[in-house]
């Protein structure tokens, strides 16, 4: 009980959300990519998509094609950023006990469980990956519980040039050197 009170005070001081009561307990057994993990939830294995965040694609896919067209970045550059995001998630979550918080919609169109992941120390991992700059905000109503909080965290990471916001693929460096 004292630990929960400490977390609530810390969350209030830092302007962060506090872990809610009644989290579903799980263990991360596999990191798929920066924003998707497999967990052991009781006797079941579930694929979990992190709510509110989108990490770059680490593998060739239709989404990678769309992201390359939308951002005007090469697929190779996006995949390199995706690998960095996946590595960040693996370092923080692989074999970690987590608490799953669900929002309004429980599953996406691919059957993945949609969740906010809470670490034992009270850290909301969805916010942590944004803070480190390895993902950007992706808000899909009605799952918007922490959307304004996530936007503020992304803005701060972007301004600080953390993670992907400070990453400059070699293609861009070559182009800027050629222009100099």
Domains of the chain plus CATH, in order, are 24-172 (2.40.50.90)
Quick one: average pLDDT of 112-128? 97
Q: Does 168 have pLDDT greater than 90? A: no
Confidence of residue 169 (pLDDT cuts 50, 70, 90): low
Which pLDDT score is estimated for 171? 43
Confidence of residue 175 (pLDDT cuts 50, 70, 90): very low
- Lowest model confidence (mean pLDDT) among 35-49, 55-69, 86-100, 145-159: 55-69
Confidence of residue 70 (pLDDT cuts 50, 70, 90): confident
Instruction: Just list the catalytic residues.
Output: 49, 57, 112
pTM score, whole prediction: 0.82
Query: Could you give the angle at the alpha carbon of 69 between the alpha carbons of 126 and 87, nearest 5°?
Result: 35
Sequence-ordered list of residues with C-beta below 8 angstroms from that of 46, at least 6 positions apart, any chain: 26, 38, 39, 112, 113
- What is the rounded distance in angstroms from the CA atom of residue 155 to the CA atom of residue 10? 22
Which pLDDT score is estimated for 73? 86
Confidence of residue 173 (pLDDT cuts 50, 70, 90): very low
Pairing between β-strand 113-118 and β-strand 44-50 as defined by DSSP bridges: parallel
- 175: three-class secondary structure by DSSP: helix
Q: Does 84 have pLDDT greater than 90? A: yes
Q: Which of 59, 68, 61, 38 has its CA nearest to residue 50? A: 38
């Amino acid at each position: 009980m004292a630990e929960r009170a400490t977390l609530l005070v810390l969350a209030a001081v830092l302007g962060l959300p506090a872990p809610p009561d009644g989290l579903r307990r799980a263990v991360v057994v596999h990191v798929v990519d920066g924003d998707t993990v497999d967990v052991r939830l009781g006797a079941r294995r579930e694929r979990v998509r992190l709510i509110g965040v989108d990490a770059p694609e680490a593998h060739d896919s239709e989404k990678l094609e769309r992201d390359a067209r939308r951002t005007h970045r090469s697929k190779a550059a996006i995949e390199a950023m995706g690998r960095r995001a996946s590595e960040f998630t693996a370092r923080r979550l692989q074999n970690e006990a987590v608490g799953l918080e669900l929002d309004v919609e429980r599953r996406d169109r691919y059957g993945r469980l949609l969740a906010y992941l809470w670490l034992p120390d009270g850290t909301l991992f969805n916010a942590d990956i944004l803070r480190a700059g390895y993902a950007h905000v992706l808000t899909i109503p009605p799952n918007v519980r922490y959307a304004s909080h996530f936007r503020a965290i992304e803005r701060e990471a972007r301004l600080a040039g953390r993670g992907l916001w400070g990453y400059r693929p070699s293609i861009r460096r070559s182009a800027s050197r050629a222009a100099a």
